[in-house]
Amino acid sequence: MVKKIIFGLMGCILLLGIWTPSVLSEGPDQMLDTAGLKDRLKVMTRNIYIGADVDIVLAATDPTEVPVLAAEAFAQMQATNFPERAQALASEIAQHQPHLIGIQEATVIRFQLDGDAVAGGTTPATDVLFNYLSILRATLEAMGLDYKVAAKVQNIDVEVPMFNTNSATGFSDVRVTDHDVILARADVEISGKSKGQYQAQLVVPGAGITVPRGWVSVDAVVNGRSYFFVNTHLEPAPVPELVPLQLAQAQELLAMLMGVTKPVILVGDFNSPALKGETYKFMKRNGLEDAWRHFDDRPQLMYNKRGFTSGHDADLKNETVTLDERIDIIWARSNVYVDGSHYLGKKLRMFIVGNELKDRTPSGLWPSDHAGVIAYLWLPEF
């Protein structure tokens, strides 16, 4: 039975080796020698954003504030217009056509006009208003692209009352179900899939609930080569007290990867700023390599805004680029040996998408509050 509660938080390309980056590129316009990229493994990570700052609901100290704050978040979610944003997101995918995509915040929004949650009722909302994954896939299909859902894990599933003058009771219920998803291009062979939720979970103060987060993986074969591809979305840690929780989730994730012998590609929203975040540094110390570091290894990397992926305004209407940190990352690990060294790739191209004014929708919305990251990887014969 779905609990009637306040919104929960909606919220590697080389191991121990040497990697020579290729010419810096961030978009198709700068891409050189595309004919030489046909055999690359192309992967993407994309947080597609629920479309509202739901943390304002969690910030309520008085339960009577929840219906008002929930109504504000619901209105913002509608205003950020996911069907329109899906067109921009699908266009990013169409430009690069990655083999594998890690999607975070693939949300299903359900609605109950005459809500009962405010009175302690337990009838779950079932009328689907928006299924973000279905909308995105339909948009891709309309563009002539065939992407299948290779694997999916459900995270939080919560329901909240909100004021609604159109309801007979004066309140409606909104139910939010969050997923992490792996999309695979139709020509990618999926030979196995797995998923899991982290034991380390956030407890929402005063609500008596936990916020589950998880990971999802597939064994994929591209151009005759096998990979273990993983997607995840770790708990945000906006205050120091939450860093140990995020680290615990990362520890569980790396423990899961210990028994994997094939090349590992790990993507996601790690909510830990590159270079300075404790979770980022932990993952780097424990055998994962950040593709962007090898692609753009200049000393001023931390200040290189071209790599930033997080920071657009919650309403997606900011008229200047406000991205201010890099938390969406493509990691990798490999057991491939070439000339006595560990290699995953000797040539690399990377692209940030959704980070320029021209990437906005016709009505001026950013595709997401995050930018996306795409990597073109090259592996030697083995």
Provide the CB-side half-sphere exposure for 209 (13 A, CA): 16
Say what the pLDDT of residue 170 is. Answer: 95
**CATH assignment at residue 356:** 3.60.10.10
Residue 299 forms part of a structural domain = yes
Say what the pLDDT of residue 34 is. Answer: 45
> Rounded distance, CA 44 to CA 1, Å?
35
Residue 118 forms part of a structural domain = no
Give residue-wise pLDDT tens across range 291-327: 887 776 554 444 455 689 999 999 999 999 999 999 9
Q: How confident is the model at residue 206 (pLDDT cuts 50, 70, 90)?
A: low
Q: Where are the beta strands (DSSP E) in 100-211?
A: 100-104, 108-112, 127-131, 147-163, 171-185, 189-197, 202-204, 209-211
Residue 355 forms part of a structural domain = yes
Residue 66 forms part of a structural domain = no
Say what the pLDDT of residue 222 is. Answer: 92
Residue 205 forms part of a structural domain = yes
Residue 367 forms part of a structural domain = yes
**What average pLDDT does range 105-131 have in this prediction?**
95
Q: How far is CA 3 from the centre of its chain?
A: 25
Lowest mean pLDDT among 1-15, 25-39, 92-106, 180-194: 1-15
The pTM of this model reads 0.87
Residue 17 structure tokens: 């080796």
> Rounded distance, CA 207 to CA 8, Å?
9
Q: Where are the beta strands (DSSP E) in 201-287?
A: 202-204, 209-211, 214-222, 225-233, 264-269
Residue 278 forms part of a structural domain = yes
Q: Indicate if the pLDDT at residue 2 is higher than 80.
A: no
Residue 204 forms part of a structural domain = yes
Give residue 81's identity as a one-letter amino acid code.
Answer: N
> Rounded distance, CA 112 to CA 162, Å?
10
Please indicate whether residue 211 or residue 36 has the higher confidence score (pLDDT): 211
Q: Indicate if the pLDDT at residue 382 is higher than 60.
A: no
Number of domains forming the structure of the chain: 1
Q: Indicate if the pLDDT at residue 42 is higher than 60.
A: yes
Q: What mean pLDDT value characterizes the chain?
A: 84
Give residue-wise pLDDT tens across range 248-268: 999 999 999 998 988 899 999
The residue written with tokens 């995509």 in the block is 101
Please indicate whether residue 220 or residue 4 has the higher confidence score (pLDDT): 220
Please indicate whether residue 113 or residue 332 has the higher confidence score (pLDDT): 113
Range of the domain at 86: 28-51+82-105+181-377
- C-alpha separations of 51 from 262, 316, 352, 376, 379 in Å: 36, 8, 20, 29, 37
Say what the pLDDT of residue 22 is. Answer: 29
Q: Indicate if the pLDDT at residue 178 is higher than 80.
A: yes
Q: Indicate if the pLDDT at residue 147 is higher than 90.
A: yes
Query: CB atoms < 10 A from the CB of 44, how many?
Result: 24
CB 136 within 8 A of CB 83: no
